[in-house]
Chains A and B, each alone.
Chain A
Amino acid sequence: QKEVEQNSGPLSVPEGAIASLNCTYSDRGSQSFFWYRQYSGKSPELIMFIYSNGDKEDGRFTAQLNKASQYVSLLIRDSQPSDSATYLCAVNNWQAGTALIFGKGTTLSVSS
């Protein structure tokens, strides 16, 4: 059974701080890694994707991938109350023909 694990939270950070969200996955053959943000009652919104080991930065967001440790993380710098949402980590081993596997999500709360 392929699994993606996330701490469910809630993760609480003050406004302006760095929020760090973590995810581990069990399928060593996974090639694609995604972070989605989902507000309550809304659909998931893709905020980052990463395919290679290392860091990928986009604005206030940085995704980090370590395939040897089977670990992917998302850093949110200068956190804002509008960042308060559930963050879903998703992993794909498309070469094996499997579908996207989601973690259960981490709830982030940013207090002003």
Chain B
Amino acid sequence: DTEVTQTPKHLVMGMTNKKSLKCEQHMGHRAMYWYKQKAKKPPELMFVYSYEKLSINESVPSRFSPECPNSSLLNLHLHALQPEDSALYLCASSQEQGAEQYFGPGTRLTVT
């Protein structure tokens, strides 16, 4: 089973809202990732967690705040977003950092 789940599937939020995206995997993977993808562009890495510790932060604005409560869960907390943050947000996991990554279905975020 190579399933990564993400909730919600769609999210519309105002610029003053606070919301969270959730990601879960039960494959025993120790690395989890957040990506942002705009239309007709490749995924753009935001954060990497390895063994529940933040490993890579690709200079993402502080209005995005990741959290890894345990080895199966990954959250992305959103606050005071801008309309240009509207995108598909993808979660992925891999056995170890550097191994093949499996993506979840994504959350389609619209900021109004």
Task: Report A's interface with B, CB cutoff 8 A.
Answer: 31-32, 34, 36, 42-46, 49, 88, 92, 94-95, 97, 99-100, 102-105
B interface residue count range (under 10 / 10 to 19 / 20 to 34 / 35 or more): 20 to 34
Contact A32 B106 (CB under 8 A): no
Q: How far is the CA of A88 from the CA of B58 in the complex (A)?
A: 20
Q: With CB as the reference atom, state the residue of chain A lying closest to B2.
A: A46
Q: Chain B contact residues: over half helix, strand or loop, or mixed?
A: loop
Smallest Cβ distance from B85 to chain A, in angstroms?
18
Q: Which residues of chain A are within 8 angstroms of B83 by Cβ–Cβ distance?
A: none
Q: Check if B7 is an interface residue, CB within 8 A of chain A.
A: no
Q: Could you say which of A31, A43, A97 has the most chain B C-beta atoms within 10 Å of its C-beta?
A: A43
Contact A46 B41 (CB under 8 A): no
Q: Which of B89-112 contact A (CB under 8 A)?
A: 90, 97-106
Task: Report B's interface with A, CB cutoff 8 A.
Answer: 2, 33, 41-43, 45, 48, 55-56, 58, 88, 90, 97-106
Smallest Cβ distance from B1 to chain A, in angstroms?
14
Q: Which residues of chain A are within 8 angstroms of B33 by Cβ–Cβ distance?
A: 99
Q: How far is the CA of A101 from the CA of B111 in the complex (A)?
A: 27
Of the residues A36, A43, A102, contact of B106 by C-beta under 8 Å = A43
> Do A104 and B98 contact each other (CB < 8 Å), given the known contacts A43-B103, A44-B90?
no
Q: Which residues of chain B are within 8 angstroms of A97 by Cβ–Cβ distance?
A: 55-56
Contact A31 B43 (CB under 8 A): no
Contact A102 B103 (CB under 8 A): no
Q: Which residues of chain B are within 8 angstroms of A105 by Cβ–Cβ distance?
A: 42
Q: Which residues of chain B are within 8 angstroms of A44 by Cβ–Cβ distance?
A: 43, 90, 103
